Structure formats: C-alpha cells, structure tokens
Amino acid sequence: MTPIDEAVALLRAGELIGLPTETVYGLAADAENPSAVRKIFSLKGRPADHPVIIHLADSARLVDWATDISDQAWQLAAAFWPGPMTLVLPKQPWVDGAITGGQQTVAIRVPRHPVAQQILVRFGGAVVAPSANRFGHVSPTQAQHVRDEFGADLPLVVEGGDCEVGLESTIINLVGSPELLRPGSIGLEQIEVLLAKPVSYSNRMGQRAPGLLDKHYSPVTPAWLVASTEIEGKSLAMRDDGKRVGLLTLRSYVDAAEVVELLSEDPGEYGRHLYSALRRLDAANLDLILIEKPPEAPRWLAVNDRINRATQLPD
C-alpha cells in the first residue's frame, strides 16, 4: 500500500491522518463522519465552539457545502484555488454543527499541495482539517512536527516535505461585505484588486486588550516581541541575570544569546521558516525567546499577525 492508499483507507475507516498542505500540515478526518470529526477536537484539545475548515479537491464541490455563493466567491475561487485561501460562506443545512462550531457559516478551501490533492481526489469526499498541532501550539510545517505533536496517537502522517507557504491560509468572510479574517500569503491588496472593492480587516484577534489576547501559534517558552534597536541590549541584560535566551532575528546578533535563529528580510521567505524556527527555539531549553519586531508594512501583515499572537509584551 502506498501512503496515499493508506491515508484514503484510514479516512474511510473514520480515522485521523496528518495531511500535508502548502500552508501547514492538517489533522484530517472525513467531513461526513461525525465521530471522526469529534476525534479531531479531542486529539487537539480544541474547544467545541472553534470551527474547522473543510478541504475539497476542487471548487466544483463548493455547492455541496456552501449556499448563496456570490459572484465574488466564484471570482476568488477562480483566481486563488487550488491555493492558500479559505472562504467563509453560508453553510448548507446538512453541514454538521460540530464542523461549524454551531455557526450558520462554513469555512472551505481547496489546497494545492500535490499530496493533499491526490488524497482528496482518491478519497472522493471532503475532509475537515485544522492545523495538526495541539490547541494553541505552533502549527506544523514538516511531517516530523506532526509526529512530535501527536506521536502514537495519530496512525499516519503522510510525508509531504516542507510546507511551501508555512503560514495558515488567508481567510475571507463573504457573508456580508468582504472581510479579511486571517491574513496569509495571499495579501489584502491582491484580494481588493481582484474584487475591485475595499476589503475590511479589523484585526480583532490581534488586539492586546485584556481578555482578548489570543494565545495562538505559541511556543511553550515565553516569547517577547522587541524592537530592532533594543533586542541586543535586552538579550545581554537577560543573560547577565543568568537567563538562557534565544533570538529570532532579521539580522545577526551572534554573540548576544544562546541560540540565534536568523530569518529572511523577505516576508514570504520569513513566513516559510517562522514556525520551524520557533519549534527549534522551543526545543532549546531556553528561559526566554526574544523576537525582533518585523517592519509594519502591509507585506508583513500575516507574519506580524502570527508573531503578535506568539508573544507577550515584555514586562
């Protein structure tokens, strides 16, 4: 049996698999099998009101899951599917409330990773797949990351190499006027150009007001976001206090910490390597991770969103 055959057999048997996609690895189950869908929530430790994304082989199947599909939705689908984009649309009445977190909308995407495509085509149905990490933890961008998260609790992780995008899909809500819910590699401007209209983005979840801080995409080690001008001094001061410090930087501060992960000054390249760098830092037995604040430019929106969630404000 090839890994693809095995993956399809497990999905049909109501089991979970680790599924490579171009964004991050997913924890996949048959979307039409409620007990398989429940397994995702229990294995991830995910709250029941947190909806999951349905993955389809192609956009022709959109009508099976969503209704009131606007011209805008079809335009976006034609432009970006298969690819790293998720659309939120009104759900068909039969879509299991466990998938939608009890909401009347459903999130759908058509991934372009060749392995995800082969599995979806051979399976013939739809799979729900949140990122394959324990709830609140860093998303996996390599098969090994998924094994590190779930070990023997997950019967199969299909090898698909390093994820090409490395950050979760761009999510666009098309119920009402278009709204960006989660920035990703497909940028706000690209969407606005395509739709020829403004798309709102409130970044509600990125706000740091008390109670709203969304501890997502987080390493276990405390992580602080620090300005370029301060990171070296801060790191040296923490080391003087006897702390083991790791840095995630856009430049090199080689002598300033126990471990230095240097990422690219190109946001796409940075995003591709962010999660694996965070995982390496998290595994280095550090007291603190300092992340150099990337530029605020629109091209950095997705990276900044993930970094803001992964960090806390320095005290």
Chain positions contacting ligand TXA, by CB under 6 A? 21, 23-24, 26, 50-53, 86, 88, 100, 103, 105-107, 109, 129-131, 168-169, 171, 181-182
Q: How far is CA 51 from CA 40, 100, 309, 310, in A?
A: 11, 5, 19, 21
- Cβ of residue 297: shortest distance to ligand TXA, in angstroms? 23
Binding site partner of 44, from Mg ion, ligand TXA, none, Cβ cut-off 5-8 A by kind: none
Binding site partner of 103, from ligand TXA, Mg ion, none, Cβ cut-off 5-8 A by kind: ligand TXA
Whichever of 131 and 173 has its CB closer to Mg ion, that residue is 131
- Written as one string, the DSSP assignment of 74-140 is HHHHHHH-SSSEEEEEEBPTTS-HHHHTT-SEEEEE----HHHHHHHHHH-S-EE--BSSSTTBPPP
Binding site partner of 171, from ligand TXA, Mg ion, none, Cβ cut-off 5-8 A by kind: ligand TXA
Whichever of 181 and 284 has its CB closer to Mg ion, that residue is 181
Q: How far is CA 242 from CA 253, 259, 280, in A?
A: 18, 15, 21
Q: What is the largest CA-CA distance in the chain?
A: 61
> Distance (Å, rounded) from C-alpha 243 to C-alpha 25?
33
Binding site partner of 29, from Mg ion, ligand TXA, none, Cβ cut-off 5-8 A by kind: none
- Cβ of residue 130: shortest distance to ligand TXA, in angstroms? 3
Nearest residue to Mg ion on Cβ basis: 131
Residues engaged in binding Mg ion (CB under 5 A):
131
Binding site partner of 52, from ligand TXA, Mg ion, none, Cβ cut-off 5-8 A by kind: ligand TXA
For β-strands 17-19 and 288-292, DSSP reports them as: unpaired
- Cβ of residue 255: shortest distance to ligand TXA, in angstroms? 37
Whichever of 114 and 233 has its CB closer to ligand TXA, that residue is 114
- Cβ of residue 126: shortest distance to ligand TXA, in angstroms? 12
Say how many Å lie between the first and final Cα of the chain, rounded: 54
> Distance (Å, rounded) from C-alpha 87 to C-alpha 119?
21
